[in-house]
C-alpha cells in the first residue's frame, strides 16, 4: 500500500511539474497545426497583420524576403486573374503600396528594381511631367 501511495505521489508530482512548464514561442511554433492556426489568426486580423509587418520591417526580415516577393509579384501581375479582374489588381497594388509606405528599405529596393525596367522607367518619366 505504501508503494502504491509513493508511486501515486511521484506520478502526481511529475504530472504537475510538466503541466506547470510554460511553453516558449518556439515550442508552440514547432507544432505544424498550431503554427498554421497562429498564422491564420494573424492574417485574419488587420491590426495584427499590420503589427507583424511592423515587426518584419524593424528586424530587417523584409530585406531577405524582397527577392522572393518580387518573384511572386511578377507571377501574380502576369496572371490571367490580374488581367481580367481590375478589382483584384487594385487590391494587390494597394496592398503592395501600403507595405512600401511602411518599410523604407523595401520601398527603396522596389524603386531601384522598377527603375531598371525600361518600360516602367518611361511610364514614370511621363507621369512626372
> Do 43 and 49 touch, CB atoms closer than 8 A?
yes
**DSSP H stretches of helix in the chain:** 2-20, 25-30, 32-44, 46-59, 61-77, 80-84, 86-102, 104-115, 118-128
Per-residue confidence of the chain (129 residues) as pLDDT tens digits?
A: 566 666 666 666 566 666 656 778 888 788 888 888 888 888 788 788 778 777 776 666 666 666 666 666 666 666 666 667 777 677 777 878 888 888 888 788 888 888 888 888 888 888 887
* pTM attached to this predicted model: 0.39
Amino acid at each position: 500500500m505504501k508503494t502504491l501511495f509513493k508511486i501515486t505521489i511521484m506520478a502526481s508530482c511529475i504530472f504537475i511539474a510538466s503541466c506547470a512548464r510554460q511553453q516558449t514561442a518556439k515550442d508552440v511554433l514547432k507544432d505544424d497545426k498550431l503554427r498554421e492556426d497562429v498564422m491564420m489568426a494573424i492574417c485574419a486580423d488587420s491590426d495584427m497583420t499590420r503589427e507583424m509587418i511592423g515587426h518584419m520591417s524593424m528586424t530587417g526580415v523584409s530585406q531577405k524576403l524582397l527577392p522572393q516577393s518580387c518573384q511572386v509579384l511578377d507571377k501574380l501581375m502576369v496572371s490571367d486573374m490580374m488581367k481580367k479582374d481590375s478589382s483584384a489588381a487594385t487590391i494587390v497594388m494597394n496592398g503592395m503600396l501600403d507595405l512600401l509606405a511602411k518599410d523604407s528599405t523595401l520601398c527603396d529596393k522596389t524603386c531601384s528594381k522598377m527603375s531598371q525596367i525600361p518600360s516602367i522607367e518611361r511610364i514614370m518619366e511621363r507621369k512626372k511631367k
